[in-house]
Amino acid sequence: MDVVVFENSAAVAAEGAKRIRALLGEKPDAVLGLATGRTPLSMYRQLAADCEQGRVSFAEVTTFNLDEYVGLSAGDRQSYHHYMNRELFDHIDIDQSNTNLPMCEPGGNPLSVGPRYEAAIRAAGGIDLQVLGIGQNGHIGFNEPTSSLNSRTRVKTLTRETLERNGQYFDDADGQPLVAVTMGIATILDATAVLLLATGQDKAAAIQQLIEGPVSAMWPATALQLHERVTVLVDDAAASQLEKRDYYDWVGQQRQRLQTQFDGE
């Protein structure tokens, strides 16, 4: 796992955008796994600006979002579908027919969404880069604590703390769905590479567990320790409980040195 600590959240967002631009430079038709929430917002803004300035194109990109609430229509302004349009898709040159979320419209059967979504990801050739945030309780996607580390896209009941935290985005608490469809942990681990972003003191305990804790369903993000290409971009506050912080900085310096020395060979 590569752990890179930045001074502030703006630098985390800039680095995240840079890595996505680099991937699309190499592979313009890449398949991206995307997250919603507060964390990736600045990175999405940066990518939208980059696209407008011609520094990156999403014209051939396909996307799969991690999760969506059950029973919200795409047009519902509280749906993740709406979030993605508002925060990213409406501002880039992506073909919206290549954007995917595990939607379960009102009245639909949520149990049938997972297998279809898994098949769609496979048909697209798999995810090249999965972008993740992390919950305070260590969830990735909506894989709440005690989720099977071998789970696939399915319906998940949200914990009370997740509902409370995300309740701020709902005008009416009664309208907040209690269940969501989320990619599973095994689905996330299938991605070729993973880019996890975390900022703020409230993520410090989850980040410490993710990087230094034992692999456990109680902290679902720790399953990422089993993946060979995970990069964690954090700000100082989110890194504040890391015991081996000095070592991660040291590793970064060595990586930089090797790249400078051997790049282009």
With beta carbons less than 8 A apart as the criterion, state whether 140 and 120 touch: no
The only residue of 5, 30, 35, 233 in contact with ligand F6R, by rule CB under 6 A:
35
Chain residue at closest Cβ approach to ligand F6R:
133
Stretch that binds ligand F6R, among 35-43, 107-115, 144-152, 187-195 (CB under 6 A): 35-43
Task: Give the SS3 label for residue 37.
Answer: coil
Looking only at the bridges linking them, the beta strands covering 179-182 and 154-157 are: antiparallel
Nearer to ligand F6R, 57 or 73 (CB): 73
Q: How far apart are CA 100 and CA 117, in angstroms?
A: 8
The only residue of 50, 67, 87, 190 in contact with ligand F6R, by rule CB under 6 A:
67
Nearer to ligand F6R, 57 or 78 (CB): 78
User: Minimum Å distance from CB 10 to ligand F6R?
Assistant: 15
CB atoms under 10 Å from CB of 212, counted, come to: 16
Stretch that binds ligand F6R, among 17-25, 37-45, 111-119, 210-218 (CB under 6 A): 37-45
Q: How far apart are CA 110 and CA 237, in angstroms?
A: 37
Residues with a catalytic annotation lie at: 67, 137, 139, 144
Nearer to ligand F6R, 67 or 190 (CB): 67
**Residues 126-145 close enough to bind ligand F6R by CB under 6 A:** 133-135, 139-142
Tokens at 81, concatenated: 């579908």
User: Minimum Å distance from CB 35 to ligand F6R?
Assistant: 4
Nearer to ligand F6R, 149 or 251 (CB): 149
Q: Three-class SS string for 170-225?
A: CCCHHHCCCEEEECCHHHHHCCCEEEEEECCHHHHHHHHHHHHCCCECCEHHHHHH
Tokens at 90, concatenated: 């409406």
CA 237 to chain centre: 19
User: Minimum Å distance from CB 6 to ligand F6R?
Assistant: 16
What are the residues facing 152 on neighbouring strands? Answer: none
User: Minimum Å distance from CB 257 to ligand F6R?
Assistant: 33
User: Minimum Å distance from CB 247 to ligand F6R?
Assistant: 26
Q: How far apart are CA 262 and CA 247, in angstroms?
A: 22
Stretch that binds ligand F6R, among 30-38, 69-77, 231-239, 253-261 (CB under 6 A): 30-38
Nearer to ligand F6R, 55 or 227 (CB): 227
Task: Give the SS3 label for residue 113.
Answer: helix
Nearer to ligand F6R, 201 or 256 (CB): 201
The only residue of 9, 36, 187, 222 in contact with ligand F6R, by rule CB under 6 A:
36
Element (H, E) at 237: none
Q: How far apart are CA 124 and CA 241, in angstroms?
A: 38
The footprint of ligand F6R (CB under 6 A) covers: 35-39, 66-67, 133-135, 139-142
